[in-house]
Chains A and B, each alone.
Chain A
């Protein structure tokens, strides 16, 4: 049986066909084969959240999925989410509130937080600080102590709720 798999996946809107090693994780594929190095590799066993990206609309650990599994899937990385402008206000809030220092966790943190913000928007609610902390509990930050990150996410949640009405 072949150790390589042919896949066709859509990454940040671009359709890509590649032959990948079956054992290659999704995050290694986007970084090494596609040169999209915004998704970071931290622990490689699902604990740190640095490789958080979107597959078919939901956030996943890029280290706990194989590229081979993503045949036919729609993948969005921090590069795509940045370029589309979807995260622009959240990125600005992170910068304004010093919600990053080294920045290693930031792409995953932004991607995870955006899912919570989208869920809150669908429910027309603003997440509490506890809910924000719970939602980003799977994303390690070793610099900020999280407080500024929670501040940034909360301010964007409130701004988006206000802007909508």
Chain B
């Protein structure tokens, strides 16, 4: 199908984009467009105006500073995939990147767009949750930083206000005690996962602590499995699988029961990844 008619405006600055959002309540921001354009083509969304933010300078950087990795909202998946900074300091993002879409999608799609769209079956929102990252936003009242725990509110719903624009995400930089794990099951490489799991932990002697398991494709938002996290920190993988308290709904890909089973399969794979890494 073809999109319903809309107006188009290329914003030259964040202030201009924020003002346009204020004047046009039915407007949508256009970043990489790899999810938005599909919903427009299918007429699942019919905004009055698209505000193209791709021309706004200074939002595409990837930098390691003061113990964190800061990724500008307009950094493209391909930029992250090829970034030495990401490979070294944000290895979970590097591990997840090949699972996201296909090369032509990754050439356009942005990390900020993925976090702002907050698809519950997407990889990056789960990575943000697993890493306990932060989101920087700018709106008519100025700038603020949102902790991951406060960010995901519901199905495609985040803490971002109607006039707020995600400007960057910030992740704690990995060090020699950082452990990460990532796995997903999809019917075709690059498709949305049936179930996926992004994880981080700290090495604690021979064991693990601060285990964070963030599942995607199992609920309205990426979801932590806190019972399983505690069991995994005790080194009890069977106990962690038994403690999985997810209740995924049926969807077009699989029944909830199958998803729950697969969540356990992924947990064993990711537990092995977390435990086998050496500094």
Contact = CB atoms under 8 A, between A and B. Distances in A.
B41 A1 contact: no
B98 A134 contact: yes
Interface residues of B, number: 35
Nearest to B109: A64
A151 interface: no
A41 to B, nearest CB: 10
B6 A134 contact: no
Nearest to B48: A1
A60 B30 contact: no
Contact of A112 (B34, B101, B104): B104
Interface residues on A, range: 20 to 34
B37 A66 contact: yes
A135 interface: yes
B1 A138 contact: no
Given A60-B108, A63-B37, A137 B3 contact: no
A25 interface: yes
18 contacts: A1-B9, A1-B24, A21-B5, A23-B3, A25-B37, A44-B41, A45-B37, A61-B104, A63-B37, A63-B41, A64-B33, A64-B108, A65-B108, A133-B189, A137-B102, A137-B188, A137-B190, A138-B105
Interface of A: 1-3, 5, 21-23, 25, 28, 44-46, 49, 52, 58-61, 63-66, 68-69, 71, 112, 115-116, 133-135, 137-139
Interface of B: 1-10, 24, 30, 33-34, 37-38, 40-42, 49-50, 52, 54, 78, 98, 101-105, 107-108, 188-190
